[in-house]
Structure 1
């Protein structure tokens, strides 16, 4: 007659703020709750604003992060906030890949047109020589 009987694995449910914290998608449970209250979380394409909203395996969660939206599918509820390897088993990442960017090599990104920006050390020394500075204190 225990009240806290084990639920079948398919029916296990957990609060969204706890789940986000256990899955290591938010740094703390309070930040997870604030994120939900701010409307940054959608469950099955429905905006949720209550941290007490329950999620279960099979639910698809869309989480708005700073630079992108993350889409994950809940695989199981969490029992604790463990290491990343353990938390990774709580969800399946369904985030679409970012759009392809224009391919450029490392050197094309690192160089700039001559004369643009700050002078290099070599250019500064040449300028100092032109102006008559030797770089040593002259007494």
Structure 2
């Protein structure tokens, strides 16, 4: 029996986050989803682009992540932009709250994937990039690409 790779289980990715932020630390968290939500997530109908994590009363919540309504969900369908609770240990939530309290820090979702049949989200403690940092990142990436192209045989 062959194990599935992580690429097959990747459901959504927030590429814009790595462009807009320096990712300092990452955490893996479970997501509390309803039945129609998990069906939409498995169908890859999820958008992480504008999402962020908020800490409220010792609990972490995933905000502003769009999970499309399930087509066959009828009256039991969910609200696409509702807050979803993240399943983390208290110690991890405490660390996230301390990190978010620092100036210029935020918590963003990076990836959503399946692990042992459960939906997981990779969240990152991030610091915002300035415009000159973004230009520097683009310049470095282009230089690396040119070097790889030049020395390819």
TM-score with structure 1 setting the length: 0.22
More strand by share: 2
Larger Rg: 1
TM-score with structure 2 setting the length: 0.21
The structure, 1 or 2, with the larger RCO (C-alpha pairs under 8 Å, 6+ apart) is: 2
More helix by share: 2
